Amino acid sequence: GENVEQHPSTLSVQEGDSAVIKCTYSDSASNYFPWYKQELGKGPQLIIDIRSNVGEKKDQRIAVTLNKTAKHFSLHITETQPEDSAVYFCAASKTSYDKVIFGPGTSLSVIP
């Protein structure tokens, strides 16, 4: 079955710097890759997603890139702010009827 790995497990950056979180997946049939942000004690919130027919997607300070050949995708956060501190999860899915497989998460700390 599908397996999603995520690195690093923890990441600390200075406010204003960029943060990059990388994920790899095993099933080449996966074609949907969402990213979730989870603040302490709360449920995950979808922040951005990408489908396999595009290589990059941006939403203000957040961007996601996808390399289908290498089976990896990354989340880029620019000009980080303290409120970006949270756990970020990547995930992969094949079709709307397949399970969504989540990575183990990355704890991001933005130091003021």
- Chain contacts with other proteins (rule: CB under 8 A): 4, 9, 32, 34, 36, 41-46, 49, 89, 93, 95-100, 102-105
Which CB, 3 or 18, lies closer to other proteins?
3
Rounded Cα distance, 28 and 104, in Å: 20
- Closest contact distance (angstroms) between CB of 79 and other proteins is 26
- Closest contact distance (angstroms) between CB of 97 and other proteins is 6
Name the residue with tokens 């399970």.
99
Which CB, 84 or 103, lies closer to other proteins?
103
Which CB, 44 or 80, lies closer to other proteins?
44
83: helix, strand or coil: helix
Which CB, 43 or 112, lies closer to other proteins?
43
Name the residue with tokens 């990388």.
22
- Closest contact distance (angstroms) between CB of 99 and other proteins is 6
Rounded Cα distance, 66 and 53, in Å: 9
Q: What are phi and psi of 11, to 5 degrees?
A: -150, 125
Longest dimension (CA), the chain: 42
